[in-house]
Structure 1
Amino acid sequence: MRSPRRSAVHAFKHVWHHAGLAGFARRLRGRRGAILRYHSVTDDEAATLGYLDSGLMVTAAAFESQLRYVKRHYTVVPLDELVERIHAGRALPRRAAAITFDDGYRDNYTRAYRLLRAEGLPATFYVTTGALDGGPPLWTAKLRYMVRTTTRERVILPGGLGGEVAVQQPAERQAIFTTLIVALKHVPSSRRCELVEELAAAFGVSDFSLLDGIMMTWDELREMSANGMTIGAHTVSHPNLPKTDVEEATREVCQSRDMIADQLGRPVAHFSYPNGRGAAHMNDTVREIVRRAGFRSAATSLPGCVQLGADPWGLRRVGIYNRHRDLRSFSLDVERARLRTV
């Protein structure tokens, strides 16, 4: 049974979506745009849960509905166009929207890319280059996998991460995963790598072979690039850049740029700062590293819209999550971001 508050929210979403409020909101702030931020589009939620938090995935059916909604109600443009208009001081198209993906999961190719092509829509895919094409899995995926698959009922966490914890119930595992991923984002990169290995030993997980193949290949990215998709950089190993020293941060940014350029045979114009949830994932020093690396834009995970005068190296986005399979929630949150005053 719904609580009174949930019932009220449900009723508001219904009125919002079906009584014309969404359309009215779209007409307001017409020159503000929205950059949508996705991670994973899946037909197999159970399998995806092995390496990605459930909140960060959307089903293929939900994604298809969202694409059709955006195509009908917004002006979907390549990220290049939004960015160049911002640099030139030119007004954005009315109700502009751009679609982006972070990390580089293989379902971006097998599911998202195919649905985007079917609808004739462009998107930008920010990829973590070191994990592509059989590279070592993202540390976030390893953490998710070990917490989810451990056969132990209690674990003693290393390095002052929380002492002994119970991991018997799914809710306990989800809670400890959330605690750990946020904590590790605040740890300097070298120590984070050590802690991930110590955590694997604590959870009793040493075989990560089931994570093979969860990321895209260069051949797949070349196909996507040749068919109108933009490939951007998302570092080499997904560190939290403000927690790395300047030399390492520069290497992560520039090597990811160079790997993509070498593999695709074209310059890389766009970057996305990794590790947005629960941590400060960019600062002035990191922004300047990215700008000096020659990127025309850099996207954050901060919520909000894009508009004339926006910082091209601090673009705000609209995070799209599992809960947005309800199209009413999707349309409401996109418009809330467009109307948001930063």
Structure 2
Amino acid sequence: MKATYHKYILNFKRPSGTSRGIMTEKETWFIILEQNGKKGIGECGILRTLSIDDRPDYEEKLQWICAHIHLGKDQLWDALIEFPSIQFGVEMAFQSLASETPFLLFPSDFTNGTKSIPINGLVWMGEESFMKQQIEEKLADGFRCIKLKIGAIDFDKELQLLRFIRQHFTPEEVEIRVDANGAFSENSALDKLNQLSEFKLHSIEQPIKKNNTDRMADLCKTTPFPIALDEELIGVFTVAEKEQLLQKIKPQYIILKPSFIGGFRGTQEWISLAEKHGIGWWITSALESNIGLNAIAQWTFLQHNSMPQGLGTGALYTNNFDCPLDVAEGQLWYKNDIDWEFDIDLFQAENL
């Protein structure tokens, strides 16, 4: 078996804002495996400043993987415990290589086009008019669950946006999730949660910064509506540490990004623990290209979670790879009449 790695820069169609700043491009890395005339591809979806494996030795670790690919998927996963995005890329590449075609990783009713995955419509931070425009577009597109990034503009304006939605749509008609990305201070968080509760929100992701576990536990105990942990899960590596975190904070939900938490195996560990402790969960992509998104979506369908998942990010980039994934009426579909516009051999040659 031979392995190579390749860097690729994804360009946003429009600068995209979070509470950590504005992004115009997103770096990603691909691992390509070759064996007996077949090829497989995996995506290492790192997000600079957020991924726990945003380290100076990241590319060095990719080189190490390619030199030690003979160790196999499981041994490599164990060796990559501090590099969850590479764990994910390696898992995906081995699954891709073993599959009938490189992009049909987990055959199901989803990949044969007969069933879909409900997803939330993502509304990015920005000027009030831009956020309002996005909300109207998502609702017109048939989304019945929307997720708003909050924490970057004036909080009163964000309340106005939520009031605008609720003036037109009841909680039964449109489910609203908000994601603060840790933007609230520990002192103001509960007051802001109480103000937000007026709008009958489904949940809020990560109201305060990670690693303030005592305060987060207090908030989860006193919150007027559910809290979901997101960044809090990043950098928690062992099953024992994961269980300890959940038992301490007792969140209502956790949000699982395979690129951030150790791929499919790491995600499955969190799911098993969440279900053991009566905690809800859903799966979200982390701005991967359509190659990583495709793998996450196929695997997610097999988890049989009926909640809207966070998998609608494929249209964010100008230079993504056309693929069978298609969003319609708030559902993610796999359209078998649409071909992948990605040639592994050509990509490899162009990116050596």
Compute the TM-score of the two structures, normalised by the length of structure 2.
0.36
Compute the TM-score of the two structures, normalised by the length of structure 1.
0.37
Higher helix share: 1
Higher strand share: 2
Q: Per chain length, whose mean CA-contact separation is higher, i.e. which structure has more relative contact order (CA < 8 Å, sep 6+)?
A: 1
